Chains A and B, each alone.
Chain A
Amino acid sequence: MTLALQTFSTVKDANAALQAAGTRYLGGGTLVVRAANEGDISVSSLVRVTETSLQAIAVSGGEARLGASVTMAAIARHPELAALAPAARAVGGPAIRNMATVGGNLFAPAPYGDFTVALLALDAIIVTEDSEVPIQTFLAGRDASRAIVTGITFVLPRAESFRFLKVSRVKPKGVSVLSIATHLQRAADGTVTSARIALGCMADRPMRARATEKALLGCKLTAEEIAPALAAAGEGTSPITDPVASAWYRNEVLPVHLGRLLLA
């Protein structure tokens, strides 16, 4: 089985070619070439784009725009994206980070896709040639998505308001047991005024912990006050079971790790 690779200089032309059956988009190759190597015969043709704007990182006025082909390594070393560096470094090892793209990460099935967990907590906007969609809507419909993602935009978080944690058993690098990103706004007295919490591995794709977000409002970050929010962490989750951890285990340890992250 061979793969026919078609290279286009514009997203427009590549989008047209992508409509053919059996055709997938080639970003860094860490998902689609992996699938082909594993014997996925549903992939017969690959499409890629050489447009340089897909590799651009632009930061201005507190907003960031990442081209879809920006790699995890490029994010991890960018001085103005320091808040996101821990999430970018959580993806794979050095070789994978030099290849894996932010656009591809949006499509990575659990237990992969740790960076998308961070983007979900930032309520990023996913940009295609003719649409801009909130990330949560995008993730819900990603299996049917046939339009090439060209970029991701989001408001850069202040360092103290954004936290990211990936839990894995193999050190220093291993597949996720789970990952958590929290983006909290707090009043001067420390009371939480808004909360976005995203979870990885707690469903087949990154999800928001809505019940926990709601329960955190008005709380100070103390063990007593966040207890109800932690108790609600498992609401709506449907974790994967894989060789790293069972669904039961992931549900059991989620409140523990979320509590540690909030109190850190």
Chain B
Amino acid sequence: MAKVPVQFTLNGAEKAEFVDSGTTLLHALRDKIGDTSPKGGCHQGTCGACSVIIDGELRLSCLTLAETCNGAEIRTTSGLAEAGVLHPLQRAFLDAFATQCGFCTPGMIMAAKVLLDHTPNPSREEVVEALSSNICRCTGYEPIIQAVLRAARANSQNAA
């Protein structure tokens, strides 16, 4: 089958690739472009491990076809750290022991980033709602919720 061109911005950098028609964005990111931060968990839209931000909205890259992302701005967890300094969410996940096996972490962080971008000081309920597409089988969720609340506090202190 003929390859199709896809072109989008990934974490601020222009990317262009040829992929098989019908290739998922998850597959294109991981196996073509080499960004392995989105994880392939269920491939069914249930676990949230593949969550990325497309044009400011949280999406599941396993259910998104790469061809439909032409011209889009895509953000993944691998693009969060700047000049070797972790993003406040990444720092908070480490400090709050919100990562165990780590498989769900990039998806959790993307879901939390969209929340904090729109709601800088979320309530606990808003954090729980924002993470409700993402499954973690290690932590029991509480450390993750605490990490997001901690990152929100750190952001507001920096802004003050």
Interface size on B, residues (CB 8 A): 30
- A7 to chain B: which residues have CB within 8 Å? 67
Q: A256 in the interface, Cβ–Cβ < 8 Å? A: no
The docked-state distance in angstroms from the alpha carbon of A17 to that of B44 is 26
Q: Which of A181-220 contact B (CB under 8 A)?
A: none
User: Contact between A33 and B63 (Cβ–Cβ < 8 Å)?
Assistant: yes
- B63 to chain A: which residues have CB within 8 Å? 28-30, 33-34, 37, 99
User: Contact between B44 and A38 (Cβ–Cβ < 8 Å)?
Assistant: yes
Interface size on A, residues (CB 8 A): 26
User: Contact between B133 and A48 (Cβ–Cβ < 8 Å)?
Assistant: no
User: Contact between A173 and B45 (Cβ–Cβ < 8 Å)?
Assistant: no
Binds B, one of A90-98, A123-131, A228-236: A90-98
Listed A/B pairs (27) with beta-carbon separation below 8 Å: A2-B22, A2-B23, A3-B22, A4-B21, A5-B22, A28-B63, A29-B65, A30-B45, A30-B60, A33-B24, A33-B64, A34-B63, A37-B24, A37-B43, A37-B62, A46-B22, A46-B65, A73-B57, A93-B134, A94-B129, A95-B60, A95-B111, A98-B57, A99-B64, A172-B128, A172-B129, A172-B132
User: Contact between B44 and A94 (Cβ–Cβ < 8 Å)?
Assistant: no
- B68 to chain A: which residues have CB within 8 Å? 5, 26, 29, 48
The docked-state distance in angstroms from the alpha carbon of A34 to that of B51 is 15
Q: Hey, which bits of chain B sit against chain A, CB under 8 A?
A: 1, 4, 20-24, 43-45, 48, 51, 57-60, 62-65, 67-68, 111, 114, 128-130, 132-134
With A30-B63, A95-B51, A99-B63 given, can you name 5 additional A-B contacts, CB distance below 8 Å? A2-B20, A2-B21, A92-B133, A94-B129, A96-B133
User: Contact between B59 and A98 (Cβ–Cβ < 8 Å)?
Assistant: yes
Q: A245 in the interface, Cβ–Cβ < 8 Å? A: no
Q: A36 in the interface, Cβ–Cβ < 8 Å? A: yes
User: Contact between B60 and A173 (Cβ–Cβ < 8 Å)?
Assistant: no
User: Contact between B130 and A94 (Cβ–Cβ < 8 Å)?
Assistant: yes
- B60 to chain A: which residues have CB within 8 Å? 30, 95-96, 99
Tell which of A95, A172, A173 has the most Cβ of chain B within 10 Å: A95
- B51 to chain A: which residues have CB within 8 Å? 95
The docked-state distance in angstroms from the alpha carbon of A26 to that of B45 is 15
User: Contact between A95 and B133 (Cβ–Cβ < 8 Å)?
Assistant: yes
The docked-state distance in angstroms from the alpha carbon of A196 to that of B141 is 40
The docked-state distance in angstroms from the alpha carbon of A28 to that of B60 is 10
Q: Which of A18-44 contact B (CB under 8 A)?
A: 26, 28-30, 33-34, 36-38
